[in-house]
Chains A and B, each alone.
Chain A
């Protein structure tokens, strides 16, 4: 949407502006255009000629009011600050449990669980090079493993984010644990954080486990199951993070993410689900880069566009569906292996950008995140950063404090136009599913990644310690923490014994039922995943069964 700035009657404005302009030019001389990461040219100064407030009610409104540009709730962070949701995952389930209980004791109200990369690949711990196990996430292959990981964690009271791509075995294990403990599934809250199979397919960040059509089917089954049986669970988190990390610009990222949300909503509607029932459980997950004002504009524009899409395009009538709820993670892409303590400064700025954008939930990276899984000490500093910004810098005192800035409002409008042009391009390609299948999105991201790298290589984009201000390193790098090999070996041995000792007949029957559901039109695959894990079917067995029936997913490589 392009808007012409309203010419307010400001006597003397043009003359004063002209004088400033010529003084500015005298001081600066010839100047190359300055552009942000999304390619938008940024001016040295903004004024009421760039944003006049004339469309205040249509474009901004008040917090909690359509189109939610200033925030999705009336009281925003004054009423309730964001959820501190630090991503954790390493080692064995017992290692995870130790770490997560300490975090809960320290006051965390939400937890998250990152599985071992082998889990993302869809394989169990007995099929992996032992040295890799648990180095990037926790090894959880069974309901028993989840029970240990969540030992003494009150899953009916604390919100849990599962980094759990299709076919959602981690949620299945969690529901099994809830049943063992007599906890009503209706009180289980949290999010399937990695449910966005399209972003996985595009950005390869973890693993694309099933074929595209297979994943599409399983996601819809999962949404339907959760709406029926786990009503306080968010089955869909639309993930912009993967794409921005892969190189998409902030504007492209927001456009792709909203196009993905449209795709999932359309798929649910096509299946006959009630749009109001489904959309209120949609959440979003983004990278927050260090490009502060651009990120703020990205999120403000995103909120506005989503509100309009949800109401006008998708036809949702419940205002809860118009609210753009998002989790932000400070971007690891901006962090450097060189002079790693500098990352504390970077993460602070990224977190400020996210907080000023009105996010609902935040993960701050530890300063050693560019090197390894965070140590306990560095993870503590990451949490402290959030506390400092909230309690000492008092970033929660004012709602949408950058709102009304000529620059930020103008940039929000420009980012909106940019994002909408991306959405239009995806629409023209037949929607996000088809655009991903055809490689269009991958090509766009690849071009942006290369363009950014060229700016870094040429020094046009400065990264302290990387292409300028280098020093001879630097004793501040904490050594990478690796899981205890003996404990991991025992974990694998116990897993093998578990597989030998369970009822093979029940396992075979459950896998057979799962395979039949996958081949049927109307049975719910995720329901069968839940049933299967209850009789001891493992993560790897579920994935390989579904791969056989629904097809293996290979990422599309685009030159």
Chain B
């Protein structure tokens, strides 16, 4: 089991069709500089690919960047993560999500949406917190299954 003080592991990725990656690269650099272990992918990942990578890399948080409309398929990603038994993996979304489409993402289980103007500290703190939360949730999942 992961030590509580081991670095948080984060997957920073883009799914769907769009390739604008300035934001995801900057956020990845922020998290890396904050001491986290960042797994970074090129854009255009498939949902199945992200789930597989999250599992193999044993991440606690997934950051999905969406600048065009790829956030519209994030609910499918959430479902796929649940189906794969990765309930403890928290998903944050960064980029452009129109106000009226935010509720659907949060209802699907996205932990937070970072719009433009979100600062470095805010993002880093939130990911650190979600990472810790993910660890404790995983302990719970583990004890539930062994009881």
A interface residue numbers (CB < 8 A to B): 116-118, 120-121, 128-129, 131-132, 135-136, 204-208, 245-247, 336-338, 370-372, 446, 449-450, 453, 457, 463, 465-467, 470, 473, 477, 479-480, 482, 554-555, 557
B-side binding surface: helix, strand, loop or mixed? loop
B83 at the interface (CB under 8 A from A): no
User: B116: which A residues are within 8 A, CB to CB?
Assistant: 336-338, 370, 466
Interface hit among B2-10, B85-93, B94-102, B136-144: B94-102
> A128 to B19, Cβ gap below 8 A?
no
B79 at the interface (CB under 8 A from A): no
User: A371: which B residues are within 8 A, CB to CB?
Assistant: 96, 98
> B101 to A480, Cβ gap below 8 A?
yes
> B98 to A204, Cβ gap below 8 A?
no
> B26 to A135, Cβ gap below 8 A?
no
Distance in Å from the Cβ of A245 to the closest Cβ of chain B?
7
Distance in Å from the Cβ of B103 to the closest Cβ of chain A?
13
> A205 to B19, Cβ gap below 8 A?
yes
User: A206: which B residues are within 8 A, CB to CB?
Assistant: 18-19
Task: With A117-B18, A555-B19 as known contacts, state yes or no: A132 contacts B69, CB within 8 Å.
Answer: yes
| Measured CA separation A479–B22 after assembly (Å) | 25
> B68 to A555, Cβ gap below 8 A?
no
Task: With A204-B20, A554-B42 as known contacts, state yes or no: A135 contacts B115, CB within 8 Å.
Answer: no
> A117 to B68, Cβ gap below 8 A?
yes
Distance in Å from the Cβ of A458 to the closest Cβ of chain B?
9
Q: List CB contacts (< 8 Å) of B39-75 with chain A.
A: 40, 42-44, 68-70, 72-73
User: B115: which A residues are within 8 A, CB to CB?
Assistant: 337
Task: With A136-B68, A371-B96, A555-B43 as known contacts, state yes or no: A449 contacts B19, CB within 8 Å.
Answer: no
B37 at the interface (CB under 8 A from A): no
| Measured CA separation A179–B98 after assembly (Å) | 42
> A457 to B119, Cβ gap below 8 A?
yes
Contact of A132 among B29, B70, B100 (CB under 8 A): B70
B interface residue numbers (CB < 8 A to A): 16-22, 25-26, 29, 40, 42-44, 68-70, 72-73, 76, 96, 98-101, 115-117, 119-120
Contact of A477 among B40, B99, B119, B120 (CB under 8 A): B99
| Measured CA separation A129–B25 after assembly (Å) | 25
User: B18: which A residues are within 8 A, CB to CB?
Assistant: 117, 136, 206
> A204 to B17, Cβ gap below 8 A?
no
> A555 to B42, Cβ gap below 8 A?
yes
User: B72: which A residues are within 8 A, CB to CB?
Assistant: 129, 131-132, 135
Distance in Å from the Cβ of A86 to the closest Cβ of chain B?
18
Contact of B17 among A132, A372, A446 (CB under 8 A): A132
Contact of B16 among A132, A208, A372 (CB under 8 A): A132
> A129 to B16, Cβ gap below 8 A?
yes
| Measured CA separation A426–B101 after assembly (Å) | 43
> B69 to A247, Cβ gap below 8 A?
no
Distance in Å from the Cβ of B113 to the closest Cβ of chain A?
11
Q: A449-B26, A467-B117 are in contact. List 8 more A-B contacts (CB 8 A).
A: A121-B44, A131-B73, A207-B19, A245-B20, A245-B22, A337-B115, A457-B119, A555-B19
User: B101: which A residues are within 8 A, CB to CB?
Assistant: 480
A-B residue pairs in contact (CB < 8 Å), sample of 20? A117-B68, A118-B17, A120-B19, A129-B16, A129-B72, A132-B16, A135-B68, A247-B22, A336-B116, A371-B96, A371-B98, A449-B26, A457-B120, A467-B119, A470-B117, A473-B99, A479-B98, A480-B100, A555-B43, A557-B40
| Measured CA separation A466–B118 after assembly (Å) | 8
> B96 to A204, Cβ gap below 8 A?
no
> B120 to A204, Cβ gap below 8 A?
no
User: B68: which A residues are within 8 A, CB to CB?
Assistant: 117, 135-136
Which 9 pairs show the lowest CB-CB distances between chains A and B?
A: A117-B17, A135-B69, A466-B117, A480-B98, A204-B19, A131-B72, A136-B68, A204-B21, A337-B116
Distance in Å from the Cβ of B16 to the closest Cβ of chain A?
6
| Measured CA separation A136–B16 after assembly (Å) | 12
User: A446: which B residues are within 8 A, CB to CB?
Assistant: 25
> B17 to A121, Cβ gap below 8 A?
yes
| Measured CA separation A453–B33 after assembly (Å) | 14
Distance in Å from the Cβ of A16 to the closest Cβ of chain B?
45
Distance in Å from the Cβ of A287 to the closest Cβ of chain B?
12
Distance in Å from the Cβ of B47 to the closest Cβ of chain A?
9
| Residue on B nearest A479 in the bound complex, by CB | B100
> A336 to B117, Cβ gap below 8 A?
yes
Task: With A371-B96, A477-B98 as known contacts, state yes or no: A120 contacts B43, CB within 8 Å.
Answer: no
Distance in Å from the Cβ of B43 to the closest Cβ of chain A?
6
Distance in Å from the Cβ of A443 to the closest Cβ of chain B?
11
| Measured CA separation A557–B19 after assembly (Å) | 12
| Residue on B nearest A206 in the bound complex, by CB | B19
